[in-house]
Amino acid sequence: MVLSHSDPNMVKVLLLTSNFPGSDALHSEIIQIYDQTRDWNQVAAVVNNFMNQLVTQYETGVSGVAQAIFDNSFGIKLSITQIEQLVVDFIRQGIDSWSGFFEFVITDTGGELGKTLDGRVEELDAPKLLTSLPVDEATKVTIDSNVVLTFDENVMAGVGDIIISDGQGDNRVIAVTDTSQVTFNGNMVTIDPAKNLIFGRTYSVQMASGVIADLQNHPYAGITDATTLNFDTVLIPPGVRYVLTTSPTDNVPGTLGNDSIVGLLDGGAQTIQSGDVIDGGPGNNDSAILEIVDAAIVAPTISRVEKIQIRVLSSDNSALDLSNIDGVASITVQAGSSGPFSLFNAGTVSSVTITGTSALNLSITGLSATDTVIDATTSMGDIQLDLSSIVNDLSVTGGSGKDEIISGLGVDEISGGAGADTFNFGIGTSGLTLGAIDMVTGFITGTDFLDFDGLAGDSSNFNDAGTVANYNDALANANTIMQQQSGACYIFADNGADGWIFVDNNSDQVADLSVQLSGVTGIVETDITGISGT
């Protein structure tokens, strides 16, 4: 119960007249009278009438009525157990009316009864903890969980520390005023430890009285033991062999099974480091989850880990160098921030999947695998994908955002996905014979763009050579038209099913590269960037 009133003496009166049948109605009446008159005699008269009725009910055997005693004409036994005898003693000393008793209560601020009442009022007015998340004795709590405390009134930071401890050396001593870890919002307090908790531990939450207080500075009593609020964190998931730390060197030996290495951020700090040595062991389906936030190149030594998931959380340049990584077949890059990210020396990786909702600027270099699949189908952010240094063939699919795909030097098959996309082809990225030219599928004229970056000169010409029988006829027609042009030149032709764009990049009046637009039988010059109007 919380008894509140602007006059502290009224709070004492409310306290002394609590826990009787009908106390709530009595409180409403005496508060109204006191607020209107400030006359304690009128308050006393109402209380006296209430108590007389209570005594009458007791004498007639009405159940649930507080016990009454009759030491003198006043002698009502009050309801607060801790001060019953004090009250009776004062009554026996000659205080024989409610008016006299209230006068004594008001003036006895430094006496035994006054101190007792002040302490009880303070206790009743103090904030009470209603609920917690995790609840007491909770199990399987995730290691990145917050602790949320909900009180019966609005609260604020007091003085001192909140301690989250596992009793085994992991002691989080968090100043209640540390706004990076403790947030107050009305009657809720959220504690977000700077570092994740540890798998498979029992943690308790403790704090001294006064660490949290209400807005009138009444202190919360606190939690002074390890059992009032404790919970168990989830065990290490089956198959997880090791959880990386922020130490400069982690050495992870694999097992015979399929291991999972977890390298999540710890308190915002990156756990995967260049000095880490990770061996997945003989299993054939080992995996690692790595969160990268540092604006730097990280080059760990990783072997026999078949799948790596990378969560990009940096807003600046960051990179994973795979020079010392062997046996990785697939990499998933999850965009959690828009900073440029690079996969250096990708080696034999045969599959790259791009996911997430954030924009991503991704560059991949040093890929030696043939026919690597790069799939961003589930990505919802805008992607810039730079594949310009890759010499082997690629199959690339964009996501639902506005993507720019910069093709590699091999024979690539590219689809932009659902968004408005740009397909970028540089010098040497596509050939001139069928089987050696890049192919774009799903190109939408008026929505998507072709960008022959660095190929267009000051004067760029676009012509449609019409419908022809086959690719060779299209190439011949394109060269014929180019011989009549000057400057960079773009010629489109189709066979009624597929189309081709031919580019003269050096103004020598012959085609230097071509790109197939599958399923496209016509484009306009504004589909090509670098031509007037685009």
What element of type H or E holds 262?
strand 260-263
Cβ 17 vs Cβ 138: under 8 Å: no
Per-residue pLDDT at 95: 56
81 and 116: one domain? Answer: yes
Any domain includes 70 = yes
Tell me, yes or no, whether 104 and 133 share the same domain: no
pLDDT given at position 218: 84
Domain count, the chain: 3
Token digits of residue 27: 């409180």
For residues 135 and 119, state if they share a domain.
Answer: no
**In this structure, is residue 170 part of a structural domain?**
yes
Q: 315-320 — which CB contacts under 8 Å span 24+ positions? A: 315/339, 316/340, 317/341, 317/342, 318/292, 318/293, 318/294, 318/342, 319/343, 319/344, 320/290, 320/292, 320/344
Q: Tell me whether residue 334 is in a domain.
A: no
- Domain-located, residue 492: yes
What is the C-alpha to C-alpha distance for residues 1 and 101, in angstroms, rounded to an integer? 24
Q: Which of 125, 144, 170 is the last residue of a domain?
A: 125
Q: Which residues on neighbouring strands pair with residue 499, listed in sequence order?
A: 494, 517
Q: Last residue of some domain: 78, 103, 125?
A: 125
Question: Please, what is the angle between helix 40-59 and helix 98-107, to 10°?
Answer: 120
In a domain? residue 245: no
Q: Are 216 and 108 in the same domain?
A: no
Coil, helix or strand at residue 135: coil
State which residues form the domain around 173.
Answer: 129-233
β-pairing, 147-151 with 188-191? antiparallel
Write out the H or E segment, with its range, that includes residue 203. Answer: strand 202-207
Kindly state whether residue 390 falls inside one of the protein's structural domains. no
Is residue 404 within 8 Å of residue 384, measured between CB atoms?
yes
- Residues 77, 28 share a domain: yes
| CA–CA separation, 233 and 79 (whole Å) | 45
| Same domain? 526 vs 447 | yes
Decide: 530 and 425 in contact? Cβ < 8 Å: no
Domain containing residue 194: CATH number: 2.60.40.1220
CB 439 within 8 A of CB 519: no
Q: Say which residues have a Cβ less than 8 Å from residue 357's Cβ, sequence separation at least 6.
A: 335, 379, 380, 381
One domain, residues 12 and 51: yes
Q: Of 125, 143, 170, which residue constitutes the final position of a domain?
A: 125
Measure the CA–CA gap between 294 and 271, rounded to whole angstroms. Answer: 10
The answer to whether residues 151 and 60 belong to one domain is: no
Whether 331 and 372 have beta carbons less than 8 Å apart is answered as no
Q: Do both 72 and 162 map to the same domain? A: no
Distance, CA of 227 to CA of 232 (rounded, Å): 12
- pLDDT one digit per residue (tens) for the chain, 534 residues: 456 677 878 887 887 776 666 778 888 999 999 999 999 889 888 887 877 676 555 444 444 433 333 233 433 344 434 344 444 455 445 555 667 777 777 777 666 666 766 766 666 678 999 999 999 999 999 888 999 999 988 999 999 999 999 988 889 999 999 999 999 999 999 999 988 888 889 999 999 999 999 988 888 989 999 999 999 998 876 667 777 888 788 888 777 778 888 898 877 789 899 999 998 888 788 899 999 988 899 999 999 999 999 999 888 899 999 999 988 889 999 988 777 999 999 999 999 999 988 899 999 999 999 889 999 999 988 999 999 999 999 999 999 999 999 999 999 999 988 889 999 998 888 889 988 999 999 999 999 999 986 554 545 789 999 999 999 999 999 999 999 987 788 999 999 999 999 998 888 889 999 999 999 999 998 999 876 544
**Please, are residues 407 and 416 in contact by the beta-carbon 8 Å criterion?**
no
Note the pLDDT of residue 54: 63
- Helix (H) or strand (E) segment spanning residue 87: helix 84-92
Nearest-10 crossing angle of helices 98-107, 8-16: 130
pLDDT of residue 480: 95
Q: What is the pLDDT of residue 443?
A: 96
Give strand pairing partners of 503.
490, 513
| 2 within some domain | no
Same domain (yes/no): 144, 207: yes
C-alpha atoms less than 13 angstroms from C-alpha of 438 in its C-beta half-sphere: 33
In a domain, 104, yes or no: yes
The pLDDT assigned to 319 comes to 95
Stated length of the chain: 534
Determine contact, residues 197/163, Cβ cutoff 8 Å: no
Radius of gyration over alpha carbons of the chain, in Å? 39
Buried b (16+ CB within 10 A) or exposed e, 474-507: bbebbbebbeebeebbbbbbbeeebbbbbbbbeb
Residues 93 and 146 in one domain: no
155 and 117 within one domain: no
Cβ atoms of residues 323 and 345 within 8 Å: yes
Q: Say if residue 37 is exposed, middle or buried (CB neighbours under 10 Å; 0-12, 13-18, 19+).
A: exposed
